[in-house]
Amino acid sequence: MNAPRVRAALHAAGVSSVDPARIEHIARGTYRVRDGSRMLACKLFDGPRAGDRARTEGAAYGALAARDAPVPRLVAVDEANAAIVREWVDGPTLAQAMRREADRPAWSFVASAWDALLRALDAWTEALDPARVDRAQRLRQSEVSAVAESVIGSGLLRSESSSWEAAAGEIRQLADIISSGRVRTVPLDLNPGNLVLGRDGVVFVDLEALGLDIAEWSLCKATMLPHDPRSGKAGQSLVAGEVDDSRSNVNARIVASALLLALADAAGLWRSEPAHPAGQTLVRELTARAPNLRHLAAALV
């Protein structure tokens, strides 16, 4: 444990002394600390510009909390030791819930918290040069299109199938639907492990990097678990199972985003392990629930 840095950060937060037994290492430089009746989280930053990254994340918490965003309350930033101290948010993460280690939340529960976070972050977008936002829009559209083309060329579709060309067109249509959304300022490093299902709602943690991305595409990345080719476990998407529920606020861009990401995962675009049949489980589930994708379903290997 980085005991001296943790103690220094706690001192900067006004915690003069704490029993080492009350400092618990959680993960990736994050420690949970009991200070009397309150629980704190101390996060240590390492690597290049660690102090700057600590200051950036601390500033994000402060500014977002002032706008009533669902983020933890900042206690202190110790730039000299590249650390921040914030309140601890008690509750399982979305990743734990998706692994059935806790109750799985409804899509609307997470989506409404995401909307609140983005409304608070819109002030960042509005302060940017519109030309920069336009460039980011084009870049994100190009990236989504590149993912679609990579899926098409990955071998996930049976090239001898009579449905191949139509299926490729359906994948490109998914990219077009996603790209119709506008870019907004979002946390760039979100994943299901950084969404805490707290008593009062979803809380977003680890806001070290902010940038511009298509909102629905970003949300789907934050609410999905990839399949595991080594164990054969299928991938998961929080939205799966709710896309045909009229009570949920699932729109076409969400469905398209979840499906294109599932296709990319099944195609192994960001891993070196060999393909595994479990990779297509989520693809087939989402394809069956999405309209006008009969050729894609028929052409899958």
Tell me, what's the pLDDT at 247? 47
Residue 173's alpha-carbon distances to 121, 129, 149, 167, in angstroms, are 29, 30, 11, 10
CA pair distance 288, 159, nearest whole angstrom: 21
CA pair distance 252, 174, nearest whole angstrom: 9
Tell me, what's the pLDDT at 249? 60
pLDDT band at 224, cuts 50/70/90? very high
Q: Is residue 20 predicted with pLDDT exceeding 80?
A: no
CA pair distance 81, 96, nearest whole angstrom: 31
Higher pLDDT, 20 or 218: 218
Tell me, what's the pLDDT at 37? 82
User: Each residue of 141-198: pLDDT tens digit?
Assistant: 999 999 999 999 999 998 888 889 999 999 999 999 999 999 999 999 899 999 999 9
Q: Is residue 18 predicted with pLDDT exceeding 80?
A: no
Tell me, what's the pLDDT at 12? 85
User: Each residue of 227-283: pLDDT tens digit?
Assistant: 998 888 999 999 997 665 544 567 899 999 999 999 999 999 988 777 788 999 999
pLDDT band at 11, cuts 50/70/90? confident
236 contacts 90 by C-beta, under 8 angstroms: no
User: Each residue of 44-89: pLDDT tens digit?
Assistant: 999 889 999 999 999 999 999 999 999 999 999 999 999 999 999 9
Taking the whole predicted model, whether its pTM rises above 0.85 is answered as: yes
Tell me, what's the pLDDT at 262? 96
173: which residues sit within 8 A by CB, 6+ positions away?
none
CA atoms lying within 13 Å on the CB side of residue 214: 26
CA pair distance 80, 10, nearest whole angstrom: 13
